[in-house]
Each structure stands twice: as C-alpha cells, then as structure tokens.
Amino acid sequence: MPQLQVGIIGFGTVGAGACEVLLENRDVIADRVGVEIVIRRIADLDIERDRGVAIDRSLLTRDAMEVIEDPDIRIVVELMGGLKQAKEFIRMALERGKHVVTANKALLAETGNELFDLAEKNGVGLAFEASVGGGIPIIRALRSGLAANRIQTIMGILNGTSNYILTRMAREALPYEQVVEDAVREGYAEDPPTLDVDGTDAAHKLAILIMLSRGEAVPFDGIYREGIMRLTPDDIRFAGEFGYSVKLLAIARHHGDRVEARVHPAMIPKGHILANVNDVYNAIYIEGDFVGPNLYYGLGAGRRATGSAVVSDIMDLARQLRSGQGRVLPSRGYARPVRSHIAIQPMDELVSAYYFRFSALDKPGVLSRIAGILGDHEISISSVIQMGREVNGSVPIVMLTHEARERSAQQAIGLIDRLDVLTDRTVMIRVEGAHR
C-alpha cells in the first residue's frame, strides 16, 4: 500500500490526540483512504515530557523547520497555537507546496484570508475542521453537505468551558467564582479562563462559520462579545421561573448584504433544543433556505475528539491526493470566493426581548421610577418578579420585557443605573425565541 508522510508541529494536547488516532486506528484509516498515513516528524519545544502516546523518540525534534523543509512530508499539521509564529510556519509550508492542517481558530478568524489566498495561489489545501466544535464535523457540513443552501441562521454553544460553568451554576446554585475554580482544577478551563468566559473563543469560531456560509471574511473586531462573568445563580434561577435557560450563544443571522454577528449570554426557552446542551458539550444549530433546520452536537474540545477532527482533515487531503487531482478542493468551499468584507449589523440595531435584574433599596416608588424610564424608551414590561426580602442590603427586582431596540435598552439602563435607589449595576440578558 502506498504511504503518505505527515509532519506535526506542536505536540501538546491536540497534537498528542492526533498521533493517538493515527496510531490506534491506522488500519481503518488505511482501509478508508487507500493510503497508509505515516508520521515522519514531530516538532515541539518540549520533547522530553511523556504525552501518553507510544511514539518512536527518533521522530521528535525541537526544530519545526525539519518538518517544513522535509521533501518527503506532503502534509504539515500545525497544532502549536498562537498567532505570529504559527502563521509564519503555515506560510512557509504553503509556499513550499505542502498541504496544511490546522486547529488554530484565532489565527484563521483574525488573518485567515491571507493564508487561504496563499494556499490557492500555490495549489494546495488549508484544512481546519478542528478549529470549530472539536469533534463535530461542522466545517465539512458547511463546505459539502449544506453547500447548495443559502445559510440563514447560525446559533451555537461553541465554548465548552463556559457551558460547563453555566451548567454547574444552574444545577447546584454555585457562584461563578467557585465553579471556575473547580473547572480549572478538573482541567476543563485554563487558569485564568479569560478567552473562554469573555466570549472571545466563541467569537473566533463564529467568524469562521460565517466565512464558510458566505465565502467572505467577516471583520473579527466587529463581532459583538460579552462574557458570563457577571451572571449569578439567582439570574439563572429567575430565568428558569420565566421558562428559560441561560447559555453563552454565538449567533449569526443573514440580512441581505449584512449579518448579525454576536456572542453573549442569552436566555432561550427550555423547550429549545439548545437549552438541553450541558456540561462541556457543544451544539450548532443551522438553518438553510432549502434544508431547513439542522443540529450538530458533540464534544467541543478535548484530546481525542479534536485529534479525530485533525485526522479527518489529513484523510480528506490524502483521498484527494490519491485521486490524482491537479489541485485540491478550495479550502473555503468557494471556487469564486467573494473578496469584500461582510458588513456587520451594528449591535444597537438589534431587536430583542430583555431580562433585567435591578438591585434596589427597599423604598416606595422604586419600581415605578424604573418602569417610567423604560416606558420613556418604548420598552414595555412583560413580567416582573420583586423579592420581598433584602439580599446584601438590596431587594432584587427582575423584569422580562417585550421586544425592544438594543439602542433603547442601553440608553434606559444607563439612566436607571444613575438612580440613587440602585445599589449595583443592572444585569441585562438578551432573550432569544421570546414567548409572545
């Protein structure tokens, strides 16, 4: 059986997972591809630490150029992460006519177009299934299975760390800080987990999904991002009393030549399919104009799941090479990619229902003052929960509104937060799929 040589740059969690898949499932991989995929070289700064994979030590090197310059290596797998150095290694590999597989979501979201153009110029592939959703084959679904559709909506739980934190807070009524400590200790979160909990990680993934759905690069800095750090178990409990669950959602909706692109905590009805995605699992809900709604669910991170996605890209490239194609399929899934940026709809034009939690002094007339400001901004109240007991010297007042403009909601909260009867900043959560 013919062989295909691959080189790996980065032997951390994902790199070790990819090696584990290639070694343990080598027979089934060869049977499906018709080529034996062989690891020729692995580069990492630390080649002494045991990764739990039975690798021939002679394959290890501290010099990534040994992978990039090796004439027998057809596919370079970049799993080191980061931006500047990883981009340089990928660039050099592409310029040398090597195909590249990467899981580097931040790099692709922020500077991917340059690398995709370079891959096309050199007639090679740049594959990135592992960059979104771990083991969920969402990239391939958008590039192939749903390719005949105009994608109308993307809505997903794209960060397992945040989902784990919110799940624990909901189940056990634990404060955010305690759950984060547990998540770090149990290996579900970095220390500190900033990019996970502030929405940046999910925004990187959303940028890639939008690019695949439109063939255009979305300006990453234009994606609205808001994290989960200010949420409390009380917010999750109050949301439940209104009939909702709280999730960190990544949302894109296409409106002609503009797109909503936002990541933030959101309340979704308990009957919604995403409301029951818990712990470290991810799920991505997609609507196409012909296929209708689709849901993709699975482990969004982890050594084995992400390693599986990396190897699936290697296998896909190996199939194309074995077929004798002069050029591999376009990495973005578009034979004629659009060269302009997508216009992102300004966040203040969003129309949504809202959850507000006010921390107020227990005095007469507080509710009417708050309601008056909301009314002045054309925000009508759907439901109210007013606690009769003080919590840390304040009485929580919780409201659910009808749909309103984001600009109006922000202006109203800015005025309400200045009232002398409020003791803390207002907590606001947007509501998706609000009951009407």
Assign residue 367 the CATH number of its domain.
3.30.70.260
* One domain for residues 131 and 219: no
* One domain for residues 294 and 307: no
DSSP state of 422: B
Domain annotation covers residue 339: no
Q: What is the pTM of this model?
A: 0.95
Range of the domain at 239: 139-299
* One domain for residues 76 and 126: yes
Say how far apart CA 202 and CA 196 lie, in whole Å.
7
* pLDDT by 10-residue block (mean), the chain, 436 residues: 96 96 97 97 96 95 98 98 97 98 97 93 96 96 96 97 97 96 89 95 97 90 97 96 97 93 98 95 97 95 94 97 83 79 91 96 91 97 81 85 98 97 96 68
* One domain for residues 164 and 119: no
Q: Please classify residue 43 by burial: count the beta carbons closer than 10 Å to its beta carbon, then call 0-12 exposed, 13-18 middle and 19+ buried.
A: buried
Q: Which of 87, 98, 105, 205 is catalytic?
A: 205
* One domain for residues 279 and 215: yes
* One domain for residues 48 and 176: no
List the one residue out of 124, 139, 127, 29 whose CA is nearest residue 325: 124
* One domain for residues 126 and 192: no
Domain annotation covers residue 329: no
- Residue 77 near residue 314 (C-beta atoms within 8 A): yes
Provide the residue type at 76 as one letter. V
Domain annotation covers residue 333: no
pLDDT in tens, 13-60: 999 999 999 999 999 999 999 999 999 999 999 999 999 999 999 999
Say how far apart CA 132 and CA 306 lie, in whole Å.
9
Domain annotation covers residue 336: no
What CATH number is associated with residue 282?
3.30.360.10
Determine the pLDDT at residue 53. Answer: 95
User: Does residue 385 come out as left (phi exceeding 0), alpha (psi in the -120 to 50 range) or beta?
Assistant: beta
What are the strands of the beta sheet with 36-43, ordered from one edge?
A: 60-61, 36-43, 3-9, 73-78, 99-102, 126-127
Determine the pLDDT at residue 435. Answer: 45
* One domain for residues 238 and 181: yes
* One domain for residues 216 and 100: no
Domain annotation covers residue 31: yes
* One domain for residues 78 and 143: no
Q: Which residues have C-beta within 8 Å of that of residue 339, sequence separation ≥ 6? A: none
Query: Which residues make beta-bridge pairs with 77?
Result: 8, 101
What CATH number is associated with residue 119?
3.40.50.720
The dihedral through the CA atoms of 406, 408, 411, 416 has a sign that is: negative
363 among known catalytic residues: no
Out of 299, 314, 331, a domain closes at: 299
Q: How far is CA 6 from CA 34, 37, 188, in A?
A: 16, 7, 30
Domain annotation covers residue 77: yes
* One domain for residues 156 and 130: no
Query: Which residues make beta-bridge pairs with 259?
Result: 254, 344
Domain annotation covers residue 293: yes
Determine the pLDDT at residue 182. Answer: 93
Domain annotation covers residue 436: no
Determine the pLDDT at residue 391. Answer: 63
Say how far apart CA 293 and CA 257 lie, in whole Å.
22
DSSP state of 141: I
Say how far apart CA 242 and CA 33 lie, in whole Å.
52
Total domains present in the chain: 3
Provide the residue type at 91 as one letter. R
First to last CA, the chain: 62
- Residue 77 near residue 129 (C-beta atoms within 8 A): no
* One domain for residues 144 and 284: yes
